[in-house]
Amino acid sequence: MPTEPLDESQLRAAEEALGVVFDDKSLLRESLTHQSFINENPGVSAVSNERLEFLGDGFLNFVVAHQLFTRAPQQAEGELTARRAQAVRRETLADIGQRMRLGGFLVMGRGEAASGGAERESNRANAFEAVVGAVLLDRGFRFARAFVLRWMKREIVRILAAETPKDPKSLLQEILQSRGRATPAYRLTGTSGPPEHRRFSVIVEVDGVAMGEGAGRRKIEAEREAAGRAIDRLLAGETLRQDD
């Protein structure tokens, strides 16, 4: 695991592992630079991969969502949301990062490297997202889409073949737990209509912050819709924070 910026031979090896030749090598170098290296070397001109990670995360979600939308035309929004969340969860992206051997190319601070940072699931997943962002900027939309589908084909096929996606409420709780967040709380905000056509309105909150709203003829349906919308927000990269 490198603790110094990648040299030309290391960049070529990374390109070979990824199956991409970059026009702008600085984007590849940036995608493989962990924030811990910047923290330990404040005088260097290097940039961490966090901004590329943000870009890659959004692009990954788009590509997977488009695949699910076009290849599963009979599935409702809630099912598509649950399947997408399974496809892009941290464990899945970390597995892809391991297949790419990203841990061996990720430049980290000595402290992070010594503590096993190359094997840390979050580092591998984040590095994969950053690489996707770098490919998008360097090679454009079509190439980046093909790159994502090549590396995620196995996961997308598996998700599409699954009988039933995980319940959105269970999936939301898993996502929050993996990020060290509190358990979601569901709050009934209202009911409407006569008894035979009653509709329930629900909000799901995390740490007191409303993350999604839902409505349905049964309370559980409203809660599932609210959970699905909360998952959408989390996958879009929104942070949980108290309102100002």
The token pair that represents 79 in the structure block: 């099912």
Q: Point out the catalytic residue in the list 30, 53, 112, 129.
A: 129
DSSP per-residue string spanning 165-202: PPPHHHHHHHHHHHTTPPPPEEEEEEEES-GGG-EEEE
Q: Point out the catalytic residue in the list 57, 138, 155, 225.
A: 57
Pinpoint the alpha helices (H) of 32-114. Answer: 35-40, 50-71, 77-87, 90-99, 110-114
Active site residue 57: yes
Q: How far is CA 152 from CA 3, 121, 148, 160, in A?
A: 29, 17, 6, 12
Active site residue 167: no
The set of catalytic residues is 57, 129
